[in-house]
Amino acid sequence: MAQKFVIGNWKMYTTAAEARHLSQAIAAGIGTDDSVTVAVCPPFPYLSLVGEILKGSRIALGAQNLYPAKEGAFTGEVSPTMLLDLGCQYVILGHSERRHKLGESDAFINQKVRVALSAGLDAIFCIGETLEQRQANQTKTVLDRQLFQGLDGLSAATLTHLSIAYEPVWAIGSSGHHATPQQAQETHAVIRHCFGQMFGERSAQTLAIHYGGSVNPKNADTFLKQTGVNGVLIGGDSLNAEQFLAIVQAGISQTQSQVEAA
Ligand code: PGA
C-alpha cells in the first residue's frame, strides 16, 4: 500500500480562536499533492468551526470519540449520526488515554468500532501496550487481546473503513521514551499477523496500520519508510501548523520514493 496517512489528534487542546487559526494555517499550507491522506481531529466543540474552514480543502475531518448509539438518553455523549452531520469522515476509537484514564474496556470499544463502521465512518482503532507490559514481554499478548476483543464480530464488508493505530503507551507525549522505527515495524508485523488470523491474509495486506507516539518532523520519515507503517497519528506536533505540515511533507516524499522504487 503506497498511500500514506497523516492524522492529527488535537486531544483536549485549543480554544475556538486557536482551532480557527490552526485549521486555517493547515488549509493554507497543505498544497495540491494529494498522495498523502490528511485528517485532523479537533475536540467536539470545534468540529463545526474547523469543518467549515476545511470545506473544499483536501483535509478530512475526524472526531476523537463517539458513543455507540444512534441517539438516545445519553447525557453528555455524541453519536455517530451527529459526527456525520458535522462532516466527519474519521473517528479515533480506543485511544490509550480513554482506555487508561477513562477506563474504557475492550468490549465497550468494540461496540464503538462496530457502530462507527456501520454508520459509515472510517474508524481509526488504537491499540498499544504500557511500559510495564513491554518490559514483562507481554506486548504480543496485550495487542492480540485488544485486537481480538476490540474487533470481534466485524463484518468483512466494513474492513475497508478500518485502520489501526499502534500507539505504545510509553512513547506517547512527553513520556521521555521513544519507540524506534524498528520497534514500530516489528510490532506492526505482529498486528498484521493477528489481523490476518482474524480476517484473512488478503484483508491483512490491505489494512492500513499507523504509528503514533512522539512523531515529529525530524523522525516522521524514519517511521514512514518502515515496511508496514502506513501512516502516523500525531498528538503534540499536530497543534503547530508548521510542524504538522512538515510531517505531511515527509509523507509525500516517502510516498514518492516508494512509488519510484516499485
Ligand atoms: P503524541 O501523541 O504525538 O503527542 O505522542 C500521539 C497520540 O496520543 O495520538
CATH number of the domain where residue 217 is located: 3.20.20.70
CA-only gyration radius of the chain, Å: 17
Determine the pLDDT at residue 127: 98
Distances (CA, A) of 73 to 78, 116, 225: 11, 18, 46
Distance CA 116, CA 206 (A): 20
Would the CB of 100 count as within 6 Å of ligand 1? Answer: no
**Which of 100, 210, 233 has most ligand 1 atoms within 8 Å of its beta carbon, as the pocket-test mutant?**
233
Nearest to 134 by CA among 182, 93, 169: 169
Ligand 1 atom closest to Cα of 214? 5
Q: Is 167 a catalytic residue?
A: yes
**Residues 45, 35 contacting (CB under 8 angstroms):** no
Task: Give the alpha-carbon dihedral of 149, 194, 80, 232, to 10 degrees.
Answer: 130
Instruction: Measure the CA–CA gap between 162 and 5, rounded to whole angstroms.
Output: 13
Question: For residue 176, what pLDDT is reported?
Answer: 75
Residue 102 burial (CB count, 10 A): 10
Active site residue 132: no
Q: Active-site residue among 97, 129, 167, 210?
A: 167
- For ligand 1, the distance from its centroid to the CA atom of residue 194, given in whole angstroms, is 24
| pLDDT for 1 | 60
C-alpha–C-alpha distance, residues 213 and 179, integer Å? 8
- Beta-carbon-side half-sphere exposure of residue 148 (alpha carbons within 13 Å): 9
| C-alpha cell at position 41 | 481531529
Note down the domain range covering 236.
4-261
Ligand 1 centre from 236 Cα, in Å?
6
Per-residue model confidence (pLDDT) at position 260: 82
Looking at the whole model, is its pTM more than 0.85?
yes
**Catalytic entry in 95, 97, 129, 188:** 95
pLDDT digit string (tens) for the chain, length 262 residues: 668 999 999 999 999 999 999 999 999 999 999 999 999 999 999 999 999 999 999 999 999 999 999 999 999 999 999 999 999 999 999 999 999 999 999 999 999 999 999 999 999 999 999 999 999 999 999 999 999 999 999 998 999 999 999 999 999 997 778 899 999 999 999 999 999 999 999 999 999 999 999 999 999 999 999 999 999 999 999 999 999 999 999 999 988 887 788 7
Number of domains in the chain: 1
Q: How far is the CA of 218 from the centre of ligand 1 (A)?
A: 15
Instruction: Tell me the C-alpha distance between 218 and 239, whole Å.
Output: 16
* Cα gap 206→159, rounded to integer Å: 9
